[in-house]
Chain A
Amino acid sequence: MKRLSLLFVVALAACSKHPIVVGSKNFTESDILGELVAQKLEASRCAVDRRLHMGGSLICDAAIAAGSLDAYVEYSGTALTAILHQPAMTDRAAVDRTVTASYARRGLRWGPNLGFNNTFAMIVRRDYAQQHGLRAISDLRKVQSEVRLGFGYEFVERPDGWPGLVGRYHLNVAAPPKTMDLGLTYKALAAGEIDLIAGNSTDGLIDSLGLVALADDLHYFPPYDAAVVARNDIDRKCSGASAALASLANTIDDATMRRLNYEVDGKKRDVAEVVKEFLRR
């Protein structure tokens, strides 16, 4: 009987130790960063429940607001416009201030910044860019009567996506964009089915598929600095959690992120393995 009650107490103690739930959005970089946060927490002896590759920013935000997620990596520009519904701003410090304050009011902690800016990138094939003399987004006016567009659903709908870009650059593209799964746009671009996609500046596939990103010469896209978002009460689940997350500050620059993405997308390596290797350095 005594042994049984002891077993009961032990079981109860195990149950009360809820794991920290770490999420990510549905693309490679977000999976890598989710795995990075997870492994960093595990190194501080926190139990982690991974919920990676969830359906986009707004799903992750709804989940963390509801308490189903404890942490995930978000981008400042996305938080500002898509989640907080604020007008886009190009001043990096102002974006950080606004987002930090707004998240604090929602019981969420913004930061630390991981150290890189993954802004939107308008991407074309290198041969297409050379053939038509495209260097910057303004140059798209040269091809607006014939360029074929393919975008993910989020980019077409977001106010800081295609609709706003058309206005800022005074583009008048003849054909409406084909909307499709974001991951398939690269394949379709490389296969020559479309000519212009909206990717991310840290995508590892840009170099490996022979593509180029057009310069945002009018500074349309707001900064998209990657930062860890965590619930304020995360330390209640594991006392070392906040310190573990803080140690990630400024550990990844743009080039490092592109390289990590390429390890997974280009070399088809396992995300957990790539992250483990990165943390070992």
Chain B
Amino acid sequence: MMTANIARATGEHVMIVAIAVVIAIAIGVPLGVWAARRARAGGAALRVVDAIQTIPSLALFGFLIPIPFIGGIGMRTAIVALILYSLLPVVRNTVTGIRGVEPSVREAGVAMGFTPRQLLLEVELPLAMPSIVAGIRIATVTAIGVATIAAAIGGGGLGTLIFRGVAMVDTRLIFAGALPAAALALIADAVMTMIERRLIR
């Protein structure tokens, strides 16, 4: 029964992290591209993303519960919180990557008659990719750890075992949650390394 519990919690955990990171990428990369081009507005956006990182998770949940659609209790709210926490590395590294593109390379593209869209898709993003992927990797590995807080709001995942273990001072239960989470982090890190190598080659 314990094994089934661990398997179910691990499955929920992977789902929470995967959904959150994919959405964080979908929001974070365009936001980063936009922020890299506008010094002032971009700087403000980065400061907001920084500030989100400092909100304690229980306080964030407290804000989210009364909000319709994205709030309430359960997995959805946990995912929303995790998206917010995952934005920082994705946005930061996208900005760093885009700003790091040599002006001469960009000018060469312009001289060849690239449209702004072509310039972005064929010059800037490919050159910024190693930095962006590094950001996604940090976001993913961190999210696996942070996702344990889903248990504070009835969202399931490996944190459920850890929270129950803490409430009952049951060390085995705490390890039953903590060890699979650590293993997931290592696996995610290895997978991201593989993707990084392939992209940089």
Contacts and interface: CB of A to CB of B under 8 A. Distances in A.
B169 A58 contact: yes
Interface stretch (A117-125, A183-191, A220-228): A183-191
Interface stretch (B80-88, B115-123, B158-166, B191-199): B158-166
Contact of B58 (A56, A179, A184): A184
B120 to A, nearest CB: 42
A188 B169 contact: no
Contacts of B169: 58-59, 62
B109 interface: no
B154 A153 contact: no
A157 B164 CA distance: 7
Nearest to A155: B167
Interface in A38-63: 55-56, 58-59, 62
Interface residues of chain B: helix, strand, loop or mixed (majority): helix
A131 B73 CA distance: 23
B167 A157 contact: yes
B167 A56 contact: yes
Contacts of A217: none
Interface of A: 55-56, 58-59, 62, 150, 152-154, 156-157, 178-181, 183-184, 187-188, 190-191, 193-194
Given A181-B58, A188-B73, 10 more contacts: A56-B167, A153-B163, A153-B164, A153-B166, A157-B164, A181-B61, A184-B62, A187-B62, A193-B65, A193-B73
Nearest 5 pairs between A and B by C-beta? A178-B154, A181-B152, A153-B167, A58-B169, A180-B154
